[in-house]
């Protein structure tokens, strides 16, 4: 069941949550809507679910080609999981999951034994068959979210929509459930969209990621695509740590201070101002200048607890600071001292021609 | 009841002592006196009084009408609370304040007003006469009066719960395919159950003991439209202290039993309703 | 009492969610049904009351209030309220102080006992005082010897009214002071304030709206109490009749218009009470909310 939205716009009062968003999700895909708070990702998800409606205009929501824009949630067969679970507190786990089946119109409602069978299958799937008589108040956060998912799946929805499904959980539980969600999707193959502000989650779980900002989609692509080839500085910055170096484009290379660096993307006219973005782990440090290591900088801070080492350096020419990430081995090899002057090589530089503010 | 664990703040002995003294003097001792007085009559006498036909008829009326009135208030109370919480309409603030009127209006005033309204020549009395319905001086009149005084209880206990209801719960229900009625019946109403039970028991208890609002409209015919509180007053006026006391004890015991039962029901149904 | 809902509340605004809203027809039907119910049960009686009161014209209306019996009833009502409300007010503050500023066993029992008068029929409230101070009681002979009357006299009326309005102030103050905790008072003590200074300068200002609210409710009930007072008063015209009792007398004397005229006085009081409580309640909720915010900082 493919899901498509065209030209969705939505304002809350005077605040424009969505500004003309279009997106197509193919049947069986697992797509993440990634963005900071206020980017419109939850609003978009809720419009797809039928819990909100786009402002009148050309905005359309299509399920498998069929226009469902004006059909409310109860008619859309879109399973929805809320960030805070929204479980029915007065019903036990079994009844929560069975709810969707029990409210089906009489003609479509399965008989009691069939309901029991389907619910029990789901309970096994979410590994909570021993807890079917418990109430939500007696479950942990991770368990509640699993029940919420099972409840949404019970009615065999055409689309599964998850609103920050793991947002309210601790890191460890979150990682487990991420893995579990991916496995679930591999088993069930229902078209799934989920909203998150956690870039790690999006990159790890989804088949495709749509990055949203201020009510617009900045970029859509596979995790590799958007990480390695970010279309805008915002995407670049949102997906990972970034250092920004001001410089000028000249002869297909970018000049930062006195130093030239290869610019893999030729952008902008000669002599135009540019910002070069470099990831902290794409910077090499050496004691002697030479080869590509030409930018002089002083070590001002070292932090080596944890799996990676982080250094903060200050450019000699203009005092700008930037961070470098080294593996523990590289750090031990280098053995830097505070205040020491070193020379850095910038690899994998991405250039954005205008003066974007991130 | 005395070991205090906070010695920074003063006045424990003073305030607790005064509280207990005042409580005992005004409430506990006089109430105890009721039971002391009852012990002065024999069991047979007691039994004879409380099972007299006139007494039994009064229980039937008092308990029956109070129960029905509280029930009606549950139905309409939910409707009123829903409308006040969920909808906007002209004059809503005034309507909301008006709901408390049966509290603020003295019972005697309510009593004579309702009587005048439903009497054969009253505005409503005239409307209902062609339908063959008599309200004033009948059991129906008692029921109407008790509905009046219980009206705010359900509304006020349900309103805060409705206001605090998580909208996502209703959205979840809708996303699972339920229509509005199903959502109301299967999701919202069960969540209101503790509040409804509280409101019902408050309205019921109030109606049981109600005097001023009812005695004018009831007509007070023994065996027909005599409520138990009135029977107690009648006995008092005849200096039948034993009779009045015995009936009072029955009333108290009955109300406490009902309140206890409702509290138990409420405890059971709200056990799992902690915020999730 | 931790579960107490105060009976008077103003609604908050609820955002509308379109996908979970009823169809407009259902909405209109429900609003009409609710308004019809309230109109029949609440509004019509009020309208009738004032209509009846004025049915013999304004002249008769004001004449009723010049009647000495009416005036003495008004006087007695004010005296009764003037004694029982402050008494219960002091009790309310003392009880709330004891319950919320200290820990001790049996606290819940105490709270339940304070609530007791609410579950007792007003008739029984009057009866118990008759049993203590009246003819069947242990003090009767002593009282008669000293020519003191409690039952069928003003003291009895005051006692019965005090019983019936007993919990009002305490019920308002206990949850409020519970939420406010002890830190303010402890801070005052540490700074050297005496107990009374702490009460006067720290506690009372913090609870002023809740206190006022409780007093308003207490007063409304005290002035309007009928059943309990009816039992203990003896209905002696000019001496032991409060306004509600006087209304009953006028009504039974077939002076319906007069009865409604005096009733309209209490109805005015009721409406004023409603307005005051709506206003004070908003302040009280703000007070409570401010407390909650302070306590989480």
Q: What is the pLDDT of residue B127?
A: 87
The full DSSP string for A53-99 is: -PPSSS-EEEETTEE-TTS-GGGT-EEEE-TT----TTS-HHHHHHH
Residue A262 to residue A310: CA distance in whole angstroms: 24
Chain C residues touching residue A74 (CB < 8 angstroms): 19
Measured over the CA atoms of residue B170, residue B176, residue B177 and residue B183, the dihedral's sign is negative
Stronger pLDDT, A130 or C235, i.e. the higher one:
A130
Tokens at C2, concatenated:
């931790």
Residue A153 to residue A113: CA distance in whole angstroms: 18
pLDDT in tens, C21-31: 888 889 999 99
Angle at B241 between CA B240 and CA B242, to 5 degrees: 95
In whole numbers, what is the pLDDT of chain B averaged over residues? 88
**Contact indicator for A51, A71 with CB cutoff of 8 Å:** no
Measured over the CA atoms of residue B26, residue B27, residue B28 and residue B29, the dihedral's sign is positive
Helix (H) or strand (E) holding B229: helix B228-237
- Compare all CA atoms of chain A with the CA of B180 and give the residue at the minimum distance: A74
Q: In the sheet that A30-34 helps form, which strands lie side by side, from edge to edge?
A: A78-81, A159-163, A191-196, A30-34, A208-213, A216-221
Angle at A182 between CA A176 and CA A188, to 5 degrees: 130
> Residue C153 pLDDT > 90, yes or no?
no
- Hey, is A15 helix, strand or coil? strand
Residues of C with CB under 8 A from a CB of A: 17-20
Tell me whether residues C128 and B33 touch, CB distance under 8 A.
Answer: yes
> Residue B1 pLDDT > 80, yes or no?
no
pTM greater than 0.80 (yes/no): yes
Chain B residues touching residue C105 (CB < 8 angstroms): 1, 3
Chain C residues touching residue B166 (CB < 8 angstroms): none
Place of tokens 């409603």: C274
Residues of A with CB under 8 A from a CB of C: 50-53, 72-74
> Residue C9 pLDDT > 70, yes or no?
no
Nearest CA to A292 out of A278, A312, A272, A311 is that of: A278
* CB-closest option in A73, A79, A89 to B272: A89
Reduced 3-state DSSP string for chain C: CCCCCCCCCCCCCCCCCHHHCCCHHHHHHHHHHHHHHHHHHHHHHHHHHHHHHCCCHHHHHHHHHHCHHHHHHHHHHHHHHHHHHHHHHHHHHHHHHHHHHCCCCCHHHHHHHHHHHHHCCHHHHHHHHHHHHCCCCCCHHHHHHCCCCCCCCHHHHHHHHHHHCCCHHHHHHHHHHHHHCCHHHHHHHHCCCCHHHHHHHHHHHHHHHHHHHHHHHHHHHHHHCCHHHHHHHCCCCCCCCCHHHHHHHHHHCCCHHHHHHHHHHHHHHHHHHHHHHHHHHHHHHHHHHHHHHHHHC
Band of residue C1 on the pLDDT scale cut at 50, 70, 90: very low
Q: What is the pLDDT of residue B174?
A: 92
Helices C204-224, C168-180: inter-axial angle, 10-degree rounding: 160
> Residue C6 pLDDT > 80, yes or no?
no
Place of tokens 């409520």: B227
Q: What is the pLDDT of residue B273?
A: 65
**Contact indicator for A200, A235 with CB cutoff of 8 Å:** no
Give CA separation, A253 vs A90, A268, A277, B116, C78, in Å. 65, 11, 13, 98, 95
Nearest CA to A299 out of A309, A316, A314 is that of: A314
Q: What is the pLDDT of residue A257?
A: 67
Low-confidence ranges of chain A (pLDDT < 70): 251-252, 257-271, 293, 353-358
pLDDT in tens, C163-175: 999 999 998 899 8
Give B187's DSSP letter: I
Q: Phi and psi for C100 in degrees, rounded to 5?
A: -95, -20
Q: What is the pLDDT of residue C10?
A: 27
Q: What is the pLDDT of residue A296?
A: 83
Q: What b/e string do you get for C84-111 counting C-beta neighbours within 10 Å, with b at 16 or more?
A: bbebbbebbbbbbbbbbbbebeeeeebb
Tell me whether residues A88 and B187 touch, CB distance under 8 A.
Answer: yes
Band of residue B114 on the pLDDT scale cut at 50, 70, 90: very high
Q: What is the pLDDT of residue A276?
A: 80
Span C72-78, average pLDDT: 92
Residue A57 to residue A64: CA distance in whole angstroms: 21
Tell me whether residues A80 and B172 touch, CB distance under 8 A.
Answer: yes
Asked if C101 reaches chain B (Cβ–Cβ under 8 Å), the answer is: yes
Subunit partners of chain B (3 or more CB pairs within 8 A) = A, C
Asked if B58 reaches chain C (Cβ–Cβ under 8 Å), the answer is: no
Q: Which of B16, B32, B106, B128 to mutate to test the interface with C (most CBs of C within 10 A)?
A: B106
Angle at C179 between CA C173 and CA C185, to 5 degrees: 85
> Residue C290 pLDDT > 60, yes or no?
yes
Residue C194 to residue C200: CA distance in whole angstroms: 10
What was the ipTM of the complex prediction?
0.85
- Compare all CA atoms of chain A with the CA of B183 and give the residue at the minimum distance: A103
- Hey, is A220 helix, strand or coil? strand
Give CA separation, C167 vs A219, B107, B137, C121, C214, in Å. 65, 18, 34, 14, 9
Lowest mean pLDDT among A271-280, B30-39, B267-276: B267-276
Tell me whether residues C195 and B10 touch, CB distance under 8 A.
Answer: yes
Give CA separation, A213 vs A15, A197, A224, C189, in Å. 14, 11, 19, 54
- Compare all CA atoms of chain A with the CA of C15 and give the residue at the minimum distance: A12
Residue A131 to residue A79: CA distance in whole angstroms: 22
Chain C residues touching residue B229 (CB < 8 angstroms): 121-124, 227
Tell me whether residues C163 and B171 touch, CB distance under 8 A.
Answer: no
- Hey, is A9 helix, strand or coil? strand
The full DSSP string for A228-274 is: HS-SSHHHHHHTS--EEEEEEEETTEEEETTEEEE-SS--S-TT-EE
**Contact indicator for A69, A54 with CB cutoff of 8 Å:** yes
- Hey, is B4 helix, strand or coil? coil
**Which residues are CB-contacts of B117 (< 8 A; sequence separation ≥ 6)?**
B123, B124, B125, C44, C45, C48
Give B2's DSSP letter: -
- Compare all CA atoms of chain C with the CA of A54 and give the residue at the minimum distance: C18
Lowest mean pLDDT among A17-21, B270-274, C49-53: B270-274
Angle at B65 between CA B60 and CA B68, to 5 degrees: 125
Q: What is the pLDDT of residue C240?
A: 86
Residue C43 to residue B204: CA distance in whole angstroms: 23
> Residue B263 pLDDT > 70, yes or no?
yes
Q: Is C277 exposed, middle or buried (0-12, 13-18, 19+ CB in 10 A)?
A: buried
Subunit partners of chain C (3 or more CB pairs within 8 A) = A, B
Chain B residues touching residue C30 (CB < 8 angstroms): 79, 82-83, 87
Residue B117 to residue C215: CA distance in whole angstroms: 32
> Residue B198 pLDDT > 90, yes or no?
no
Residues of B with CB under 8 A from a CB of A: 166, 168-169, 171-179, 182, 186-187, 190-191, 193, 272-276
For C43: left if phi > 0, alpha if psi spans -120 to 50, otherwise beta; the answer is alpha
Tell me whether residues C26 and B245 touch, CB distance under 8 A.
Answer: no
* CB-closest option in B172, B175, B272 to A137: B272
**Contact indicator for C177, C93 with CB cutoff of 8 Å:** no
- Hey, is A347 helix, strand or coil? coil
Paired strand residues for A302: A311
- Hey, is A7 helix, strand or coil? strand
> Residue C296 pLDDT > 80, yes or no?
no
Residue C158 to residue C82: CA distance in whole angstroms: 9
Chain B residues touching residue C48 (CB < 8 angstroms): 113, 116-117, 122-123
Tell me whether residues A73 and C19 touch, CB distance under 8 A.
Answer: yes
For C132: left if phi > 0, alpha if psi spans -120 to 50, otherwise beta; the answer is alpha
Neighbours of C260 (CB within 10 A): 28
How close B23 gets to chain C, by Cα (Å)?
A: 7
- Hey, is B70 helix, strand or coil? helix
Q: Which of C13, C17, C19, C24 to mutate to test the interface with A (most CBs of A within 10 A)?
A: C19
Displacement of CA C39 from its chain's centroid (Å): 25
Tell me whether residues A102 and B273 touch, CB distance under 8 A.
Answer: no
Tokens at A198, concatenated:
């956690």
Nearest CA to B159 out of C274, C285, C1, C6 is that of: C6
In angstroms and rounded to an integer, the radius of gyration of the C-alpha atoms of chain C is 23
Chain B residues touching residue C280 (CB < 8 angstroms): none
Residue C277 to residue C36: CA distance in whole angstroms: 25
Give B186's DSSP letter: I
Residue A76 to residue A74: CA distance in whole angstroms: 6
**Contact indicator for B35, B245 with CB cutoff of 8 Å:** no
Displacement of CA B251 from its chain's centroid (Å): 14
Residue A247 to residue A231: CA distance in whole angstroms: 19
Task: State how beta strands A259-262 and A253-256 pair.
Answer: antiparallel
């Amino acid at each position: 069941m493919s899901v498509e939205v065209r030209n969705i716009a939505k304002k809350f009062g005077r605040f424009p949550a969505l500004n003309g968003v279009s997106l197509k999700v193919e049947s069986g895909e697992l797509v993440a809507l990634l963005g900071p708070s206020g980017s419109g990702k939850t609003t978009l998800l809720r419009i797809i679910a039928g819990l909100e409606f786009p402002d009148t205009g050309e905005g359309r929501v299509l399920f498998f080609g069929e226009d469902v824009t004006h059909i409310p949630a109860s008619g859309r067969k879109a399973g929805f999981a809320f960030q805070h679970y929204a479980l029915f507190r007065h019903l036990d786990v079994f009844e929560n999951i069975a709810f969707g089946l029990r409210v089906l119109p009489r003609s479509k409602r399965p008989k009691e034994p069939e309901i029991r069978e389907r619910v029990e299958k789901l309970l096994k799937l979410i590994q909570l068959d021993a807890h079917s008589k418990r109430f939500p108040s007696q479950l942990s956060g991770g368990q509640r979210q699993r029940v919420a998912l099972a409840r949404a799946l019970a009615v065999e929805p055409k689309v599964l929509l998850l609103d920050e499904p793991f947002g309210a959980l601790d890191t460890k539980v979150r990682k487990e459930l991420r893995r579990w969600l991916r496995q679930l999707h591999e088993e069930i193959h229902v078209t799934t969209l989920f909203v998150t502000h956690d870039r790690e989650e999006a990159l790890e779980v989804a088949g495709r990621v749509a990055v949203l900002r201020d009510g617009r989609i900045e970029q859509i692509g596979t995790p590799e695509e958007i990480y390695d080839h970010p279309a805008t500085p915002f995407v670049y910055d949102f997906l990972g740590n970034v250092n920004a170096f001001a410089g000028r484009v000249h002869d297909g290379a970018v000049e930062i201070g006195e130093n030239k660096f290869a610019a893999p993307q030729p952008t902008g006219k000669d002599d135009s101002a540019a910002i070069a973005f470099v990831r902290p782990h794409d910077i090499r440090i050496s004691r002697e200048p030479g080869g590509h290591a030409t930018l002089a900088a002083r070590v001002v801070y070292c932090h080596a607890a944890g799996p990676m080492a982080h250094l903060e350096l200050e450019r000699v020419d203009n005092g700008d600071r930037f961070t470098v990430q080294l593996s523990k081995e590289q750090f031990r090899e280098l053995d830097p001292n505070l205040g020491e002057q070193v020379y850095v090589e910038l690899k994998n530089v991405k250039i954005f021609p205008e003066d974007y503010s991130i | 009841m005395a070991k205090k664990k906070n010695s920074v703040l003063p006045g424990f002995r003073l305030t607790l002592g005064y509280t207990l003294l005042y409580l005992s003097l005004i409430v506990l001792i006089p109430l105890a006196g009721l039971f002391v007085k009852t012990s002065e009559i024999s069991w047979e006498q007691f039994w004879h009084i409380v099972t007299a036909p006139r007494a039994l008829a009064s229980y039937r009326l008092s308990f029956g009408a109070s129960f029905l009135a509280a029930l009606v208030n549950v139905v309409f109370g939910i409707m009123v609370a829903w409308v006040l919480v969920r909808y906007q309409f002209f004059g809503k603030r005034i309507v909301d304040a008006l709901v408390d009127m049966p509290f603020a209006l003295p019972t005697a005033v309510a009593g004579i007003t309702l009587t005048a309204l439903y009497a054969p020549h009253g505005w409503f009395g005239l409307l209902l006469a062609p339908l063959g319905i008599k309200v004033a001086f009948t059991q129906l009149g008692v029921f109407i009066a008790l509905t009046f005084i219980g009206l705010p209880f359900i509304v006020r206990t349900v309103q805060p719960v409705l206001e605090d209801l998580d909208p996502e719960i209703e959205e979840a229900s809708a996303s699972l395919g339920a229509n509005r009625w199903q959502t109301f019946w299967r999701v919202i109403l069960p969540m209101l159950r503790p509040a409804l039970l509280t409101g019902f028991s408050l309205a019921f208890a109030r109606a049981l003991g109600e005097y001023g609002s009812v005695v004018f409209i009831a007509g007070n015919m023994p065996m027909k439209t005599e409520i138990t509180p009135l029977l107690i007053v009648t006995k008092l006026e005849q200096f039948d202290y034993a009779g009045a006391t015995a009936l009072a004890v029955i009333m108290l015991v009955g109300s406490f039993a009902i309140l206890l039962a409702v509290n138990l029901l409420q405890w059971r149904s709200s056990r799992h309703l902690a915020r999730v | 009492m931790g579960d107490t809902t105060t009976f008077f509340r103003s609604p908050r605004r609820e955002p509308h969610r379109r996908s979970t809203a009823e169809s407009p027809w259902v909405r209109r039907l429900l609003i009409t049904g609710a308004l019809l119910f309230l109109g029949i049960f609440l509004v019509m009686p009020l309208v009738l009351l004032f209509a009846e009161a004025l049915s013999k014209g304004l002249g008769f209306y004001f004449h009723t209030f010049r009647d000495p019996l009416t005036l003495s009833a008004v006087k007695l009502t004010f005296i009764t309220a003037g004694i029982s409300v402050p008494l219960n007010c002091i009790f309310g503050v003392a009880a709330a102080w004891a319950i919320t500023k200290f820990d001790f066993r049996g606290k819940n029992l105490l709270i339940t006992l304070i609530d007791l008068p609410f579950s007792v029929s007003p008739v029984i409230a009057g009866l118990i005082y008759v049993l203590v101070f009246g003819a069947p009681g242990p003090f009767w002979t002593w009282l008669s010897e000293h020519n003191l009357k409690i039952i069928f006299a003003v003291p009895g009326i005051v006692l019965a009214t005090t019983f019936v309005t007993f919990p009002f102030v305490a019920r308002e103050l206990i949850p409020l002071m519970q939420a406010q905790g002890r830190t303010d008072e402890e801070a005052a003590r540490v700074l050297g304030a005496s107990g009374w200074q702490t009460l006067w300068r720290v506690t009372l200002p913090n609870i002023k709206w809740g206190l006022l609210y409780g007093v308003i409710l207490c007063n409304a009930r005290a002035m309007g109490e009928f059943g309990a007072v009816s039992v203990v008063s003896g209905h002696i015209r000019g001496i032991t009749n409060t306004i509600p009792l006087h209304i009953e007398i006028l009504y039974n004397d077939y002076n319906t218009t007069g009865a409604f005229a005096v009733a309209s006085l209490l109805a005015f009081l009721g409406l004023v009470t409603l307005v005051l409580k709506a206003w004070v309640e908003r302040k009280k909720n703000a007070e409570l909310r401010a407390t909650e915010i302070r306590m989480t900082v």
